Amino acid sequence: MHKTVDLRSDTVTQPTPAMRDAMLAAPLGDDVFGGDPSVNALQEKIAGLLGFEAALYVPTGTQSNLCAILAHCQRGDEYIVGQQAHCYRWEGGGAAVFGSVQPQPLNHQPDGTLALDEIDAAIKPDDAHFARTRLLALENTLGGKLLPFDYLRQATQLAKNRGLARHLDGARLFNAAVAQALQTGSDAFTEARRIAGCFDSVSVCFSKGLGAPVGSALCGSREFIARAHRIRKMAGGGMRQAGMLAAAASHALDHHVVRLAQDHALAQRLADGLAGIPGLQVEAPQTNIVFVDLTGAARNQSAALLQHLAAHGVQATGLYRLRFVTHLDVDAAGVDNAVAVIRQFFNS
């Protein structure tokens, strides 16, 4: 019998024993009063790592993006964003619902980017007929894809030249940084800072690949973070003695960034194991996410495949495509078992 392997998301990780020890040892205060030393230390750490003046610890990446968009935009403004961006498609329309900020979604190119000419064309004239275009929001990684750094510089410079603020949903920023470091021969922290330097604000999630149980951070200027802090209050994001959670995030920054390369290698191992199976089309992973499409006679078998996987101790998702995500709690044996179970399905 193989133990269950959960490939649904990198959000399913459990705190490591060392992380739990750090949480138990964390000094606490009331963060709503600004008096939790562990929260304050985390905010200073992540802001310093990414080259910003300040940061704000929030419960979720969804709230972090909401605070960012509403701190950049006012009622009647709009933000330019990709059709598959999390802050547009997967966050309940929060900016529009809570802030009356209109999204202007654009289609993605095959590499996950938004075409520069389409960004430029989407910026509205200063005319009463139109919402005021105020912000460009990008995501890196996007569906596991690393956005090319030269593209990030060009897109954000275009936005700056046109008077737009620039926000990065960097929920998996450190996955992007680890992958980019392989290209440049640098280190992940240097690359994370280079990516962040293209933007006015950056959201980073601690509860995905970094393996903390809860929380994200929003980074920006002191003035921007002060505005975001007010929005966090309205959104119910003040968590009092949040230092136990912040300590987990600090531990993750100290110990779980470099190891993301292991998750990327396991994703490649999974993709390699699935290659060549008739009825499967595997998208080559760039980081820790593997997308699989069923083709031919197997096209309508995704529900049956997911049921087969679950019956054999492999969990995955198929909301719009089959998706497998490697993370801290996945090892080579789990990946190999997933491959074997999938091959069994198609052989039968």
C-alpha distances (whole Å) from 54 to each of 44, 45, 66, 172, 198 are: 7, 9, 17, 20, 16
CA torsion through residues 29, 216, 201, 258, sign: positive
Domains of the chain (ranges; CATH) run: 17-255 (3.40.640.10), 259-347 (3.90.1150.10)
Assigned token pair, 236 = 């119910």
Assigned token pair, 3 = 């133990």
Phi, psi of 282 (to 5 degrees): -105, 125
Condensed to tens digits (0 to 9), the pLDDT of residues 23-41 reads 999 999 999 999 999 999 9
Per-residue pLDDT of the chain (348 residues; tens, 9 = 90+): 568 999 999 999 999 999 999 999 999 999 999 999 999 999 999 999 999 999 999 999 999 999 999 999 999 999 999 999 999 999 999 999 999 999 999 999 999 999 999 999 999 999 999 999 999 999 999 999 999 999 999 999 999 999 999 999 999 999 999 999 999 999 999 999 999 999 999 999 999 999 999 999 999 999 999 999 999 999 999 999 999 999 999 999 999 999 999 999 999 999 999 998 998 999 999 999 999 999 988 888 999 999 999 999 999 998 778 999 999 999 999 999 999 999 999 988
